[in-house]
Structure 1
Amino acid sequence: MRKLKRNKQSPYIKGRGLLLPGFFRVSALLFIVLIVAACSVDYEKAKMAEDLGEETPETVMHGFRQANVIGHHTVYEIEATQVESYPRQKVLKLSDVALREFDQNGDQVFLSTAGRMKYDLREKRIDLESGVKILKTNENGSTKIDGEAFSFDEKEKLITAPPASLVRFSDEESGGELTGRGFSAETDSGTIRFSGGASGTYGEDPHEP
């Protein structure tokens, strides 16, 4: 177990992909949501939307829930108290959103909640705000990340938090617990970075030579 001291040179932690894959699935889910939102508007309403300003949603859905079911099993599920669709800008805005993934036994293996979510289809960018909680669970334990806001750039394969935002990271399998600012994570390599310094401990990866 390694112990970190606050305000030291930015630590890099090589992860095992416990958190990161879930963000790719969020992207796939929101593609479905965008299609649903677009199809819910008839032609006359679509013509009326041409006169709407860019800040006015074309479609608003309340009490939204959508699930991806394969066979008799729910694989993914997304819930939101409200979904606003801006097709011309290719943007979706969701309130009080919860994203879940389930295994073949019906057990939840991924959960992400946020007060607000914005998905920019054109920029391939997801912004989560207002108290974000991310939980990934497997047979070896869970990985948790808490923070006020996160962004996922699908083009750059990068997850970031605002520089001044405090992020808490814990990994049950390794026993690691970190708190720091300037959080970023590379989704390809699984490398986590706190550029503003971090304190806490993190364990050695038992899969590393």
Structure 2
Amino acid sequence: MHAPPEPFAPPAQPWFPLATERLLLREFRSEDLDDIHAYGSDPEMVRFMDWGPNTPQMTREFLDRMLVQQAEWPRLGVGLAVEWTAEARVIGAVRLEVKDPIHRTADLGYGFHREFWGRGVATEAARALVRVGFDGLGLHRIWATCDARNTGSQRVLEKLGMRREGLMNANAWSRDHWRDTLLYAVLAEEWGG
């Protein structure tokens, strides 16, 4: 008989920033405001999100919340700005949040400036988080959800090696209608890097 795994506990020191081939995943800075608003205010970018499009005040409130959260360590949820290193410009955000420490499971999320869609950027950033989640933090399962109409996000999750585990019918109110949500996940032993 196997002993249950130890519950997840955040490491003593933060595991970020993370550098990839084209990106720097780092904490938010106050000077990121205009870059964040550039993607957060785009109706096309947020059409499958449960937030936005942002007004300038909403973007400021988001950034202020992130700056306050970043002052705390340890914490179970980590949201990071994604900087396009070639231009030192924030083009999106990613999130990895341990939702169930007992079972060592975490939720993955991301959103990017429309200019960078279809260029592998979301996959590159999300892969860095999944790698840290399994190889660095010892998580057992990482999952993500997306609006069932969001084929771009579905492709990202499938490129990460996640499998579609289910469809939740009309489970979330989004803007002016009930939306369907897809659930994807990958286990540590399935993760191929």
User: TM over 0.5: same fold?
Assistant: no
Higher helix share: 2
Higher strand share: 1
When normalised by structure 2's length, the TM-score is 0.31
TM-score (norm 1): 0.29
